[in-house]
Amino acid sequence: MENFLLWVFYVMTFYAFLPGVISRTFGFRVFKRGRVEKEIALTFDDGPDSQYTPQLLDLLKRYNAKATFFVVGSHAEKQPGLLRRMKDEGHDIGIHNYVHKSNWLMRPKTVRRQIEKTNAIIETATGERSNYYRPPWGIVNLFDYSNMGYLQIILWSSLFGDWRIRVGAERLQRRMMKKLRPGEVLLLHDCGKTFGADEAAPHNMLIALEAYLKQGMKQGYSFVNISQMIRLTDASWKPSLMKRTVISLWLLWERAFHAAFRLKQVGEGDKPSFHYRVTTYNGQSVEFADGGAIGKGDVVAELHFDNGMLSSIAARYKSPLAAGLRVIREVEHALPQLARQLAEDPDASNIKAVYGVTMIHRGADRLGFEVFNLPDGLFARSTNVYLRLLTKVLTPSDSGNRRKDRNKRLKEATSPRMLLMPVHRIRQYAAAGLDNLQGGNADLLRAPIDRTIAGTGDESAVISSKTTAL
């Protein structure tokens, strides 16, 4: 019996207790506070409630405040009109399980079913699925991190016990006023019908919230939904002193590498897109689509992205796809210059191809590159590790580690590939330039790239280059 109880203790510690403590204390894979100047995020749990949620929506509308509602599925399916109103008035809707039950007390499969069922209810009412999840009482278990998939876990920076009616409106108001600060993610409740709550408690919350909104407006605060808070937080990212030091050292090491291996800059400006060196190819033999091949020992021009350029793009674009496509645009503009430079370089007179290894390969085929998987082996594995390490060095750290929680397409899009362009194709750039090379079809490339860059601003930037990479 003693051993059984000991095993129960061990299982509960690693399954439930430690994940909860780590998430709440260190913000591991969760978002719970913004880095902003004059914004506050209001969040409401346990609703919708047929009595109090409409009053809350009226109050928010009067003060032009946006909020996020984490709905309980069993309540939401009875109030589809309130869900539609939330969406129509600019609020976010998140998931708070189908029943208000702790994830500690449910198997991972059960938690997943609760989430999916609630999300289906939200989608039926609003036409959109939710991207946000808040577990009841903020309690996560070990498997929640993998179960969430596309969902961002949202916790809070302040809560006030407003689910208990004995707190009273005046005391609740005093507690809330102490948290009238930028970046706060406030947790309140618009329904008192869950276990441990008082049914009439939201009445006090509405009184205290109106005073809070009024005072916040006087002080110049704006009240935003969680999507806006996350966007503003991402946009305000500034590297820490440690991060700036690491980036500086990494770029210094890159310059030393360029000097040691005699890399040549493409173009004459102080912000090149890439560099190259003439070397021998040591990979497996590869056949090109339009004939010809390259094998071990053949002479190639090995391309290297400029990591300073990558770092500046990563800081500017918050979407991995947008950042990667921005890099492709930089390559597009630099390829004619590279072609002319190779044509004038006596060391490159006998090259058979232009070559590189990169995580940024979307759209490269439209520029004339052929994309190949890296053969499995030590080089492929070490390259993957190196590039992901470089990603961490050069890019912002997303709030709540949301970058990890993106779906499998992101991982696929940023897995290393080998790019090769036959020499006759790169020489066409020197002779004709990009527009003539593609018979006037360059706009077909630029248009989708521009649309994608413009439309993918909400995700975190994932962009990197191996030193031996295009």
- As to burial, measured by CB atoms within 10 angstroms (0-12 exposed, 13-18 middle, 19+ buried), residue 35 is middle
The answer to whether residues 210 and 353 belong to one domain is no
- The stretch 135-155 carries a mean pLDDT of 71
Summarize the confidence of residues 69-91 as an average pLDDT.
96
Taking alpha carbons only, the member of 365, 330, 291, 336 closest to residue 426 is: 336
328 found inside a domain: yes
Listed in order, strand segments (DSSP E) in 149-308 are 152-154, 158-159, 185-189, 222-224, 264-265, 274-280, 286-287, 293-294, 299-305
DSSP letter, residue 328: H
Tokens of 462: 């994932």
Instruction: Please check whether residues 217 and 183 belong to one and the same domain.
Output: yes
Residue 391: pLDDT band with limits 50, 70, 90: low
List the Cα angle 58/154/188 in 5-degree steps. 40
Q: Is 304 a catalytic residue?
A: no
| Catalytic pick among 75, 100, 189, 275 | 189
Q: Which helix (H) or strand (E) holds 95?
A: strand 92-95
pLDDT of residue 47: 93
Q: Which residue has 């102080």 as its token pair?
A: 270
220 & 250 share domain: no
Confidence of residue 13 (pLDDT cuts 50, 70, 90): very low
Active site annotation includes 45: yes
**CA pair distance 113, 127, nearest whole angstrom:** 20
CB neighbour class for 176 (10 Å; exposed up to 12, middle 13-18, buried from 19): buried
Taken as a whole, the chain contains a residue count of 470
Same domain for 44 and 179, yes or no, is yes
Asked if residue 275 and residue 209 are part of one domain, the reply reads: no
Is 260 found in the same domain as 227?
no
Residue at which a domain ends, from 216, 235, 254: 235
Q: What share of the chain is helix, strand, coil (3-state, %, to 5)?
A: 50, 15, 35
Any domain includes 251: yes
| pLDDT single digits (tens) 350-384 | 999 999 887 776 677 878 899 888 777 766 666 66
Q: Would you say the C-alpha torsion 145, 151, 152, 158 has a positive or negative sign?
A: negative
Instruction: Give, for 373, the enclosing helix (H) or strand (E).
Output: strand 370-373
- Cβ atoms within 10 A of the Cβ of 378, count? 7
Tell me 205's DSSP state: H
40 and 167 in one domain? Answer: yes
pLDDT band at 225 (very low <50, low <70, confident <90, very high): very high
Please tell me whether residues 292 and 432 are part of one structural domain.
yes
Sheet strand arrangement including 353-358:
264-265, 274-280, 299-305, 353-358, 417-422, 370-373
pLDDT in tens, 415-455: 778 899 999 888 887 765 544 444 444 443 444 444 443 44
Could you tell me if 257 and 222 lie in one domain?
A: no
Strand partners, 186: 42, 158
In this structure, which amino acid lies at residue 361? Answer: H
Per-residue model confidence as pLDDT tens digits over 151-185: 888 999 999 999 999 999 999 999 999 999 999 99
Q: Is residue 167 part of a domain?
A: yes
Write the CATH number for 207. Answer: 3.20.20.370
What global pTM score does this model have? 0.56
Give the domain range for residue 46: 15-235
Domain count, the chain: 2
The token duo for 259 is 């000097």
Does residue 443 share a domain with residue 408? yes
Among 36-45, 140-149, 328-337, the range of highest mean pLDDT: 36-45
Q: Are residues 129 and 278 in the same domain?
A: no
pLDDT > 80? residue 468: no
